[in-house]
Amino acid sequence: MDFHELEAFVVLARTLHFAKTAHIIHSSPSALSRLLGRLEDELGASLLDRGKRRVQLTEPGQAFLEFAQESLRRRDELHLRLSSQDGQLRGTLRVFASVTACYSILPPLVEAISQAHPHVRLSVDTGDPADAEQAMHEERVDLALGALPVSGLPDLDCFAVQHSPLVFVASRNGPFGQLDFKSTLSLAALPLILPRKGLARDRLEQWLRSHKVRPQISAETAGNEAVLALARLGLGLGLVPRIVLENSPFAEGLVVYNAGQDLGEYTIGFMLGQANTGNTGLLQALRQLLQSVYPAGNWMKE
């Protein structure tokens, strides 16, 4: 087996979908299937259970996934350590961020990295910001940008760069475009479009429970941009951080209802591994760049 096969298996274990994985690794489903067969033959074990309804990892598959992730991590650490002896970092920096973050928060950091460390290549994985912490814990990325809890995260260093209130939005010309929305208590009689998971969903559910309000959920989706798209269709009130609305092409057709202090602020920031996890040179460089690029930011714990 080689690193290419390990990388392909890690992606397949994440998606559990042959066509999606083949697209990501620029291959074909048939070639990916052959690659998996070679791995299984070499290991003498079945790595995936390919049932009629879904694909899932077997117990040997989970063990091999952990081996593959650790092998790739140690390869990257070794490459950075050996190639940075001249004072220049080299290698690939893996970043996770939402689409909104890619064009609203990330650009100045990317520019600073390219200037300070021109031999570092960026690999950006986009997705739901609610998945940022998991991406870090699974060691799929070195740096992630997402929503941060007030107290930070116990096993990751968190650097907050921006705060944004949570707001409700609806289609200006739809049935919910001219509401007398005086307080969040109005939610009891209104259909909601919510993210399936994440900080915004958690905050709202906590508020609903404390006020004994039973919501009407008309749609659930992954990612804030999708919430805006469904709100623009007139399906109900969508819950998003204001920063997403301010950077969205859908903003012109939406009306905003403020939640006030009921749901608090949405803290956006970076997550990175702590110094005792390895990759010391990379982590030090990132910490310095974050502080210089976002001077108003702050470390949530030291």
Decide if 119 contacts 87 (C-beta within 8 A): no
Domain assignment present for residue 128? The answer is: no
| Residue 82 pLDDT | 59
User: What is the 8-class DSSP label of residue 302?
Assistant: -
Q: What is the tally of structural domains in the chain?
A: 2
Q: What pLDDT was estimated at residue 275? A: 47
| pTM of the predicted structure, to 2 decimals | 0.68
Q: How large is the average pLDDT for residues 48-73?
A: 86
Out of 33, 63, 83, a domain closes at 83
Q: Is 181 a member of any domain?
A: yes
Residue 49 covered by a domain: yes
Predicted confidence (pLDDT) at residue 302 exceeds the cutoff of 70: no
pLDDT of residue 278 exceeding 50, the answer is no
197: Cβ contacts below 8 Å, ≥ 6 apart: 128, 130
261 and 169 within one domain: yes
Residue 168 structure tokens: 């409700």
- pLDDT, one tens digit per residue, over 221-238 is 988 888 999 999 999 999
Read off the pLDDT of each residue in 60-80 and give the average, rounded to a whole number: 83
Instruction: State mean pLDDT over 195-199.
Output: 89
User: How many residues make up the chain in this entry?
Assistant: 302
CA 165 to chain centre: 19
Q: What CATH number is associated with residue 37? A: 1.10.10.10
Contact 208, 187 (CB under 8 A): yes
Residue 292 confidence class, pLDDT cut points 50, 70, 90 = very high
- Is 286 domain-assigned? no
Residue 84 has pLDDT above 60, yes or no: no
Distance CA 142, CA 93 (A): 6
CATH number of the CATH domain containing 249 = 3.40.190.10
Domain that holds residue 19: 1-83
The encoded tokens of residue 59 equal 């117990």
pLDDT at 158: 92
Residue 97 lies in a domain: no
Q: Cα angle vertex 64, ends 63, 70, to 5°?
A: 95
Q: Has residue 228 been placed in a domain?
A: yes
Among 265, 281, 297, residue at a domain's last position: 265
205: in domain: yes
- Which residues are within 8 A (CB) of 87 and not within 5 positions of it... i.e. 6 or more apart? none
Boundary of a domain, candidates 53, 83, 113: 83
Least confident range from 30-39, 87-96, 155-164: namely: 87-96
Judge whether 247 lies within some domain. Answer: yes
User: What is the average pLDDT across 11-33?
Assistant: 87
